[in-house]
């Protein structure tokens, strides 16, 4: 969570730094359940425990309170089913209930629940309120729960203190008994009841698991405080654990289809035409510069002044006997250095521009 303004007042951590040393079900700290549920890449059980010590009774109470037992019974691996990016596809309501179960199973004294009822249907929301969020429930004893919700019809009668917000501002706040007399809250309750009465949104719209609409709609206090009989399929018996998939790599020659897909993903044919053209021009300019310098250097050896003869040469006698030595008497013709310099400068400038375009691209 990002603090925008104000102060955060919360219980301090234990002096010894331990998080799960106390045997009681409630310890220190804050548990947060976001509106957008977050799951680990692991089993359902590991997501709920979140590295906390495993307590069978408490674990079963959390599964029952979050209405997860029907879902687990429909899964082959039960609570050892892999979820997350590499696991099975869950509906939004199933993800939300797993995230809520993680917060309930923790030993945190304070629970921050950000609209956890929005992702489930009205029937499941009623069950969650009665089983998991009821102040007299086993999982809420000695705890403070701060719940953000639009479903006032289910939650208002359970709250001790209510803060009503509208457009980011506090409209009213106070004990629930006094808030019920507010006209704005009465209208909000009417709208909420109308929305819930006509809502057909389903938690299991994906069709992957059975609908939860057949669950019991009423739950008395005795039902809340009494543990239900633990089915053998829930988590009492040893289950075959599903091993996470092992990533492997291909062996042998890379197929042309893979290479083509890789090249196409980098930019397509237009991109590669530009790249090849720039690379070819860069190499051509580099080779052309070297060839031009070589031609410039040999220009002084290949050109001689006209009218040069062996008679004006001190080595005339030697030249008559050794004709190849006449080159010592030749004088160089003036070479147009400006021409060679201009062409070389043009090649160098072009090469520099192409190189900059190559590296920036």
Same domain, 180 and 221: yes
As beta bridge partners, residue 161 has 175
pLDDT at 232 exceeding the cut of 50 = no
Mean pLDDT of 174-197: 64
Lowest mean pLDDT among 83-87, 105-109, 190-194, 334-338: 190-194
Which residue has better confidence, 213 or 225? 225
pLDDT in tens, 55-68: 889 999 999 999 99
Estimate the crossing angle of helix 122-131 against helix 56-65, to 10 degrees: 140
Nearest in space to 204 (alpha carbons), one of 47, 36, 70: 70
Shared domain check, 78 and 120: yes
Q: What pLDDT, on the 0 to 100 scale, is given for residue 293?
A: 86
Query: pLDDT tens digits for 295-318?
Result: 888 887 776 544 444 444 444 444
* Structural domain for 54, as ranges: 30-236
Answer whether residue 6 is part of any domain: no
Where residue 158 sits, what CATH number does that domain have? 3.40.50.300
For the chain, how many structural domains are there in total? Answer: 2
What is the bridge-based pairing of β-strands 42-43 and 144-148? unpaired
User: Would you state the pLDDT for residue 288?
Assistant: 87
Same domain membership, residue 320 and residue 278: yes
* Residue position matching structure tokens 């070389």: 344
Residue 1 lies in a domain: no
* 191, pLDDT greater than 60: no
pLDDT at 179: 76
Average pLDDT over residues 71-86: 84
The model's pLDDT over 135-152, given as tens digits with 9 standing for 90+, comes to: 888 888 888 899 998 887
Inside any domain, residue 138: yes
pLDDT at 51 over 50: yes
Same structural domain for residues 145 and 102? yes
199 and 284 fall within a common domain: no
**What is the value of pTM for the model shown?**
0.50
């Amino acid at each position: 969570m990002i603090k925008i303004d104000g102060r955060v007042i919360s219980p301090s951590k234990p002096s010894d730094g331990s998080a799960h040393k106390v045997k009681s079900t409630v310890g220190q700290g804050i548990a947060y359940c976001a509106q957008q549920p977050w799951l680990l890449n692991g089993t359902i059980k590991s997501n709920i425990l979140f590295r906390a010590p495993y307590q069978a009774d408490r674990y079963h109470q959390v599964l029952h309170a979050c209405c997860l037992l029907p879902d687990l019974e429909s899964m082959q691996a039960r609570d050892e089913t892999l979820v997350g990016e590499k696991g099975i596809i869950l509906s939004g309501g199933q993800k939300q209930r797993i995230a809520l179960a993680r917060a309930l199973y923790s030993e945190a004294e304070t629970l921050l629940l950000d609209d956890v009822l929005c992702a489930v249907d009205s029937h499941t929301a009623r069950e969650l309120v009665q089983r998991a969020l009821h102040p007299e429930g086993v999982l809420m004893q000695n705890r403070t729960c701060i719940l953000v919700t639009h479903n006032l019809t289910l939650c208002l009668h359970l709250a001790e203190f209510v803060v009503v917000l509208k457009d980011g501002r506090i409209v009213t706040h106070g004990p629930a008994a006094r808030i019920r007399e507010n006209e704005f809250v009465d209208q909000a309750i009417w709208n909420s009841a109308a929305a819930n009465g006509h809502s057909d949104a389903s938690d299991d719209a994906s069709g992957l698991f059975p609908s939860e609409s057949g669950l019991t709609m009423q739950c008395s206090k005795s039902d809340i405080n009494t543990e239900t009989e633990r089915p053998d399929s829930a988590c009492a018996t040893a289950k075959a654990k599903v091993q996470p998939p092992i990533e492997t790599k291909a062996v042998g020659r890379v197929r042309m289809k893979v290479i083509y897909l890789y090249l196409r993903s980098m930019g397509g044919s237009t991109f590669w035409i530009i790249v090849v053209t720039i690379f070819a021009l860069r190499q051509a300019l580099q080779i052309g510069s070297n060839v031009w310098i070589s031609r410039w250097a040999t220009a002084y050896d290949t050109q001689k002044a006209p009218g040069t003869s062996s008679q004006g040469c001190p080595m005339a006698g030697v030249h008559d006997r050794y004709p190849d030595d006449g080159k010592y008497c030749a004088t160089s013709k003036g070479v147009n250095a400006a021409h060679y310099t201009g062409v070389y400068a043009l090649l160098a400038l072009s090469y520099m521009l192409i190189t900059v375009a190559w590296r920036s691209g």
